[in-house]
Chains A and B, each alone.
Chain A
């Protein structure tokens, strides 16, 4: 089981689905960002799994995974800064109360 590509890819798919649910269902903007991190982690797991099982991708997959991590860190920085900036004006972290642009 630990030596088949399918089990790791299925685990990654399930983790991605959990992250999708969190992103769609949570009301708190920071909880949505955490769900995005879960989804990014799921994709990274798939990349690393391919790297471990496909001989021609062995080193490349690790490098790609490291780059994805760095981009995820940049995304988290900017995303959280935006959430804090909105919180300062609207006094709530709940996304369904951000109705300014609809009015």
Chain B
């Protein structure tokens, strides 16, 4: 069975439908991350947000970036953040006040910023922008190991430094007689 050329009844191309669905899901899950009261649920919504973004990358014709998004963000960063959430959960459950008192000002600023950025990027003529085309994995691999081999190595060193720094910072100190200040509450 073959699909029709356009979406039945709507007349859109399938890619347009896919883009609309992915964009709605991306913004919806991002809002759930930011607005949710329970931080564990925020972390789980963040995984959904990263997965949707991997879908957008696949739609843009960059399968390698989509795969890296799944591996790095869903596989590594999300797990790291979920573990950090579990380590810092207070016994009283989620805090009564999730947002700062000045959250309304932040909301206004974010709405203004989003509108401004969206207006600017859509009203600008991009002179170099041409036709959409997919990127082959072979081309990326050849670039990564010829022109960009020095940044590639530097990123490796940076990751090693980050691992060592993370272990050092999160390491439990020697037990002290008196802690810094009284814990609040």
A interface residues, Cβ below 8 angstroms from B = 1-3, 5-22, 24-31, 33-35, 37-38, 41, 44-45, 48-63, 65-67, 69-78, 80-85, 87-94, 96-97, 100
Contact = CB atoms under 8 A, between A and B. Distances in A.
Contacts of B100: 24-27, 96
A74 B81 contact: no
Contacts of A44: 65
A21 B110 contact: yes
Contact of B60 (A34, A35, A52): A52
Given A1-B19, A2-B13, A51-B135, A81 B169 contact: yes
A41 B57 CA distance: 11
Contacts of A93: 88, 90
B7 interface: no
B16 to A, nearest CB: 5
Interface in B87-143: 87-88, 90, 95, 97-100, 102-103, 105-107, 109-111, 113-114, 117-118, 121-122, 126, 128-135, 139-140, 142-143
B53 A74 contact: no
Interface of B: 12-13, 15-16, 18-20, 23, 26-27, 30-31, 33-34, 39, 42-43, 46, 49-50, 53, 56-57, 59-62, 64-65, 68-69, 72-73, 76-77, 80-81, 84-85, 87-88, 90, 95, 97-100, 102-103, 105-107, 109-111, 113-114, 117-118, 121-122, 126, 128-135, 139-140, 142-144, 147-148, 151-152, 155, 158-159, 161-163, 165-170, 172-173, 179-181, 183-185
A40 B39 CA distance: 20
A77 B114 contact: no
Contact of B122 (A6, A35, A37, A88): A6
Contact of B170 (A52, A74, A76, A85): A85
Nearest to B144: A63
A9 B129 CA distance: 12
Contact of A66 (B142, B144, B179): B144
A18 B114 CA distance: 8
Given A48-B60, A62-B140, A70-B72, A3 B132 contact: yes
Question: DSSP majority for the B interface?
Answer: helix
B184 A92 contact: yes
Nearest to A35: B34
Contacts of A34: 33, 42-43, 46, 81
B130 A48 contact: no
Contacts of B184: 90-92, 97
